[in-house]
A and B are shown apart, each in its own frame.
Chain A
Amino acid sequence: MPADLNLRLGLPGSDQTDVDAAKSNKRASPEKAEDTASNGVPAAKSADDHETAPAPKAQIVGWPPVKSYRKSTAAAVKKAEAESGMYVKVSMDGAPYLRKIDIKLYNGYSHLLTALEDMFKLSIEREGYKGSEYAPAYEDKDGDLMLVGDVPWEMFMSSCKRLRIMRGADARGLGCAQ
């Protein structure tokens, strides 16, 4: 580059380290663009700031670069999912037909299990496998049969595709429900 265009970013006398700091400032937390000292020089970061994790990106204007009508679609899809209920089939070993429930209606495992007990008129294992009662199991997204209760409730809600109330004897090996 031609040497005569040696413009500087800071005031005369400010040295290159300020510019370097500004660069790393820029990269670490892009949304802090206003974080300049009153003399216009980007605030030199202390050593601590270099080591802290970058600020969460969720608040960046215009990022990710998705047009506004797409954002609202994604939001609408989520909203629609939220409103439409999460119906899953519930089968009980030995019962002639299945039932369907909306998992969204329940606020946790014990609420769900109580509802299932009412629906099928039986009692379900809660703590530990005793081998005599029914055990609640579900089929997840991968098609695997899982014991109800191991994962956080929200994760369960999004991964549960189908419920199966297994006879105690068949549930051997599924382990303990929380």
Chain B
Amino acid sequence: MAYSFPEEVLEHVFSFLSSDRDRNAVSLVCKSWYDIERWCRRRIFVGNCYAVSPEIVIRRFPELRAVEMKGKPHFADFNLVPEGWGAYAYPWIAAMAEAYPFLEEIKLKRMVVTDESLELISKSYKNFKVLVLTSCEGFTTDGLASIAANCRHLRELDLRESEVEDLSGHWLSHFPDSCTSLVSLNMSCLGSEVSFSALERLVARSPNLRTLRLNRAVPLERLANLIRRAPQLVELGTGAYSAEIRSDTFSNLADAFSACKQLKTLSGFWDVVPSYLPAMYSVCSGITSLNLSYAAIPSSDLVKLINQCQNLQRLWVLDYIEDSGLDALAASCKGLQELRVFPSDPFGAEPNVPLTEQGLVSVSEGCPKLESVLYFCRQMSNAALIAIAKNRPNFIRFRLCIIDPQAPDYLTLEPLDTGFGAIVENCKELRRLSMTGLLTDRVFKYIGSHAKKLEMLSVAFAGDSDLGLHHVLSGCDSLRKLEIRDCPFGDKALLANAAKLETMRSLWMSSCFVSFGACKLLAQKMPRLNVEVIDERGPPESRPEGCSVERVYVYRTVDSRQRLDRPDFVWTLDEDSSLRYS
């Protein structure tokens, strides 16, 4: 090649490319670009840990500094994936410990991480900086102690929403006095009390600390001292927000807050005593993100707080806010982009608060920038959904959960097909949709016709026949993740759209009508898909071929070997359709 650039020049050019998509495109241009790119790629994102093996990754990208990975399918959050299914981090950690001595960042979501893995991380990477474990499990506070003690340059330790076996709060005291590099600490999911003096000293010697999310065990009386030592905080998660009402505690707290000029995000707020909320008012005008989803605060107090936060962009709140509170939100917070309303009493059959579809209609009307919604309520109507769709064609994420999963339009008793149809028709940029309520095949027809940018769809207790599933698989051009539970979808649609499944990350179907025979056929037809039958009733062959499997999880993979870490209730099927099980 007469005119090829020297490698160094190309590498330099590629260094400006941060998105995976761009880098993947670059690597397809020609063999030499592929080679140059793979040597200079520093960050990867693996959306499904079983889509590829550690060996393949290490072989292709020898110089990684940051790895981000996801394990279990989303429905694992709701206990639909049996314990022991997989997503173990250890094989990855062990392989990377050998291959990447300069690794700096590990971010895992929905994976099983052991203390052994954490210890290995803490001892293998001299320059380790960032550990983010989202919705992970399998480790104890002993593992955290290893990280704290050994990672000399640790910047981020974020355990958001992980299930940690909390042996004691002593782990925090393992941060050596020489550790001054912390930028972010999120321990909100932990139960035990840590040593408050150790925590205060840690905060005091971390001048770069931007994010501090405390756990519930840190009492309100301690909060002022902590934030006084970190007035540069941008994100704060309080501990329990309750104390005996005393004016000195209040003024101490208010003073401390007023020094935090950079605060943008607030969360925590367990056990709130509303009288202490005004202590935060001085920072409210700068707050853009507020997570009150653990706080049982009466609507009137919520409204007073929200009225102070004129620049709010994101609000997570319990349904104690009521329709009236959402009206106030719509009036005050014109910059609102994301709203999540969680149920205070998810298992109660009757409404415990006056929160209905009306609240969502108000917010959709009043907040022109609203693009992302997660809303739990107990009644919905087509009229409301149509109004919401017309008000807010800019929705990107729309997740609606009606507590009764097959609730019809409460006004007309019809299915909610036309309502959700209006959503997908008007919201042309919709990327994520979750639906509930009485829904027929018709809603799937609308989705297949209109939801061309939809990437993730969650369906429960909906549809009449395979046609529903077929509409989605054949029509949704951008679909990457489809998760379905308790729908009468089965073999026909699955097999007719087998090729589509290779263009997606994964498909989850539980309590549907997929037969074992169809799973075998699918695996035969599509060798680059892993078809996992997850069934706790014993070998699928012991039942007739027409019998429905409990769950099937289909995902594309470049790792041609079968999963070696399968538990005995996972049956994978390979090309010659012979059953493999442990």
Contacts and interface: CB of A to CB of B under 8 A. Distances in A.
B270 to A, nearest CB: 8
A97 interface: no
A40 B345 contact: no
A74 B344 contact: yes
Contacts of A69: 161, 163, 189
Given A7-B515, A33-B511, A64 B346 contact: yes
A8 B491 CA distance: 8
Contacts of A40: 543-548
B352 to A, nearest CB: 9
A41 B404 CA distance: 27
A11 interface: yes
Interface stretch (B61-69, B77-85, B255-263, B301-309): B77-85
B77 A67 contact: yes
Contacts of A33: 486, 511, 548, 550
B495 A5 contact: yes
Given A36-B547, A62-B75, A57 B343 contact: no
Of A30, A62, A63, A69, the most chain B CB neighbours within 10 A belong to A63
B295 to A, nearest CB: 9
Contact of A77 (B344, B347, B515): B344
Q: Name the prevailing secondary structure of the B interface residues.
A: loop
Contact of A30 (B189, B461, B546): B461
A83 to B, nearest CB: 11
Contacts of B78: 61-63, 65-67
Contacts of B351: none
B71 to A, nearest CB: 16
Interface of A: 1-2, 5-11, 22-23, 26-27, 30, 33, 36, 39-42, 54, 56-58, 60-71, 73-74, 77-78, 80-81
A5 B544 contact: no
Contact of A23 (B343, B464, B511): B464
Contact of B491 (A2, A7, A64, A73): A7
A9 B491 contact: yes
B405 interface: yes
B465 interface: yes
Contacts of B511: 30, 33
Of B271, B349, B496, B546, the most chain A CB neighbours within 10 A belong to B546
Contacts of B403: 64
B544 A58 contact: no
B240 to A, nearest CB: 10
B573 interface: no
13 contacts: A1-B470, A7-B515, A9-B490, A27-B461, A30-B405, A41-B546, A54-B406, A58-B349, A61-B80, A64-B376, A67-B161, A69-B163, A80-B296
Interface in B505-555: 511, 513, 515, 517-518, 521, 543-548, 550
A81 B345 CA distance: 13
Contacts of A63: 78, 405, 460
Q: Which 3 A-B pairs have the closest CB atoms?
A: A40-B547, A62-B78, A40-B544
A172 B339 CA distance: 48
Contacts of B493: 1
A5 B376 contact: no
B347 A58 contact: yes
Given A33-B511, A69-B161, A10 B492 contact: no
Contacts of B346: 64, 66, 70-71, 74
B500 interface: no
B372 interface: no
Given A8-B546, A62-B485, A77 B296 contact: yes
Contacts of B124: none
Contacts of B271: 80
B90 interface: no
A58 B348 CA distance: 8
Interface string B332-366: 00000000001111110100000000000000000
Contact of A70 (B293, B406, B543): B293
B546 A11 contact: yes
Contacts of B347: 58, 64
A11 B434 CA distance: 34
A10 B546 contact: yes
Contact of B495 (A7, A8, A77): A7
